[in-house]
Structure formats: C-alpha cells, structure tokens
Amino acid sequence: MGVFKNIFTWWEGATFGTALNTMRNGRKVGEDDQGNLYYEGKKAQAGLTRRWVIYKGQNDSSRVPPEWHSWLHHMIDAVPDQALPSPRTWEREPTPNLTGTGEAYRPAGALEKGGRRAAATGDYEAWTPGA
C-alpha cells in the first residue's frame, strides 16, 4: 500500500509527484525541530525563488514554526538559524492547531462540555409566535 499511498494521497507527506519535483528542481536548505524539510527552487521567477516545505507526518500548516513561516513567505532572506536572534526567555513554544482533537477549545455551553449555558439575564426576551 505504501507506493499507492504516496501516489494518490497528499495528507500524509509528499506525493510521488511532489517528491520527484523536489529532487529535480529544489535544494534542501534546512530542517526544523519537528523534522519538516524546507526547500528552495533553483531558478528565480519574477525576482523570487519558490520555497516549500515537505512535512514529516501529517500536512498541517500550523506545524510550521514562526521563524520558518517568515522564511517561506520571503520575510527574511537567510535561513532562520542565521537570520534571527536567539529566542527570548519569555517566548513560548508554538502550539499546533488543536481543532478536531480532544484538546480543542470548547466554550461554555458546548455539547462537549455538558451543554449547559449560563442563564439568560433580564435584558433578554424570548420570542413567542403570535405575541
């Protein structure tokens, strides 16, 4: 199933076509702490080179750290290890998008939290038909 999975699916890593294009037209410039690989095109188009990421595991853009996001979108020219200062002591690690998981944000009154909302205050008047 491995070969067919790489040909036809895109949600768990690079497809066969992306891997082939990366080998022919890209050069590896770095890797982040999560194992994602970053590439840059060999030719410039309109003054900019194409940049892309090959995810290790599921394709989820929230797994790209902020420093590599700035490199991907041409906000900085050099690789983040060379262009950015070391992280500040007060900075937190970035968190992935938790939507669809058990740790996702659930507001008060959500069905996953029991479905109980706070009682309505006196400024709310319910609509009734024919009233």
Over residues 42-93, the pLDDT tens digits come to 888 888 888 889 888 878 888 898 889 999 999 998 898 888 888 889 988 8
Strand partners, 48: 45
**pLDDT of 120 over the 80 cut:** no
Q: What pLDDT, on the 0 to 100 scale, is given for residue 124?
A: 75
Per the document, the length of the chain is 131
Tokens at residue 99, please? 């939507």
Q: Is 41 helix (H, G, I), strand (E, B) or coil?
A: strand
Q: Concatenate the DSSP letters of all residues of 103-129 into one string.
A: TS---TT-GGGTSPPPPP-TT-----T
**Domain extent listing, the chain:** 2-85
Tokens at residue 14, please? 């690079």
Exposure of 10 in the CB half-sphere (CA atoms within 13 A):
4
Q: Is 12 helix (H, G, I), strand (E, B) or coil?
A: coil
Are 53 and 3 within 8 A, CB to CB? no
Q: How many helices (H) and strands (E) does the chain have?
A: 4, 3
